[in-house]
Structure 1
């Protein structure tokens, strides 16, 4: 009996130890899982719904509900001007649509700069900022940068004419945005084309200055680089003498001493004899 008791006791202790070992392993596994879940939760970035396109849309198209959808977007990386709600995009009702100003690929965020206001078309009025005006400048292959200008580019404007009978070229405006080339306001065109006129966005004061400059001389455009943030002051001027390196000679007046003479007659001949002048 005593032997059986001892065996039963040892078996019970063994089972108890095994149970404790199993429970300890289970608890450790659960703790590791919880730690991994906490670490994963810490890496989760807060998101917000953002409207993106469901297909490639091009300049002039109307955006309907079928053309856009919402996806989760990291809150700290939402593009400026992106639409985040139905009420914001369709602010004047579901039937009042926005028009595409710039081509967007499938899945690209829809932003305010890429579409017009509700119910507006893609004309020039939708591109003009508050207080700004559209002004057309006549160009050709030379003055229009060989046809490489596109809406959305920025240009410097030079005036060539005559001032005080001197041929002069002067920088009169810098970093002026182009909003149309000929009758095209689509900034997505990639091929070069010789334009007859371009339309710029300027203030009313600049309109007056450009109109006067165009009436009294010739305007030429110089394309500004897309990443160029250099500030260039207007007023740079070159005339023909500077261009050719001609230096005007200074005329120095030399004052000669006065010469006094007396006349004497020698027979039939009159002779002038120089003498010292006296005041």
Structure 2
């Protein structure tokens, strides 16, 4: 009996010890897994901060930007530009690194303050100054006189694109016609010039607006003839609209073809002509006619 009790106590003690050892192993394994997960989280956080750090140092390169808004045709000076650090991965193609490379170069497209200046937005070195430096090869600058109506009430500015409409009478006796003659023409300059009124007693000077357009030689011919023979009108285009739509032009009869006109009055019928009654009277050798009219 005593041996059975001792045997039972030993079995119970062994079971408890075995259970305690297994619980310890599970606890150690849990600690190891938790520690490994913590290390993994720390590694991911460090990697994220390295990639997306706000204040972390990123490699930069010097880039020349505009200090002020620069209109088309501007000859650059030191006051117009400055060098700023620019993120290397976002540096634009053709950017300049030093101010010396841009001094006296001419802007061929409007550049806003803080915008990088790139090679495709300045004239080549040695191209000179003024509009001649802005013109691409094969193009001409042609100026036309415009008023507030022709010039879209002053809303046409250098760098804008316009279509040109002419209104003229092709030949004597033919109807007046309006038609688009040039499309998507770049405006190089819009300015004032002083003209004198011909035939005026006081011969007082007046201010006239002149728009300078960039055209090809054949377009310059069409523009010159249209300005001499008719009236020009500039139509401002959207900067996003590059489509060219050819039109047939329009004449007054076509313009008013849908207008209801008053029917012409019918002429009054002519009153019938009533012939008078005539009586012939014979008296011997004499002959006489008498006419009687109704009263």
Q: With the length of structure 1 as denominator, give the TM-score of the two structures.
A: 0.60
State the distance in 2 between where 1:39 and 1:217 align: 69
Q: Per-residue deviation at 1:157?
A: 0.8
CA–CA separation in structure 2 for the residues paired with 1:121 and 1:69: 27
Q: Deviations over 1:10-45 (max 9, x none)?
A: xxx9xxx9999887765543332222334455669x
What is residue 68 of structure 1 aligned with on the other side? 83
Contact 1:96/1:118 (8 A) holds in 2: no
Q: List structure 1 segments (4+ residues) > 6 angstroms apart after TM superposition.
A: 17-24
Cα drift, residue 230 of structure 1? 3.6
The one of 14, 35, 49 equivalent to 2:44 is 35
- Kindly tell me: are residues 26 and 63 of structure 1, through their superposed partners in 2, closer, same or farther at Cα, counting changes over 3 Å? farther
Q: Which residue of 2 aligns with 1:215?
A: 228
Tell me the residue number matched to 1:257. none
Matched, 1:129 2:136: yes
SS at match of 1:237: coil
2:249 aligned with 1:237? yes
Alignment partner of 1:102 is 2:117:
no
The correspondence for 2:214, drawn from 184, 201, 207, is 201
State which of 143, 147, 152 in structure 2 corresponds to 1:140.
147
Gaps of 5+ in 2: 1-20, 194-206, 260-295
CA distance in 1, matches of 2:69, 2:237: 28
Give 1:223 deviation, angstroms: 1.3
The number of residue pairs the alignment matches comes to: 215
Relative to the length of structure 2, the TM-score reads 0.57
Root mean square deviation, CA, Å:
4.1
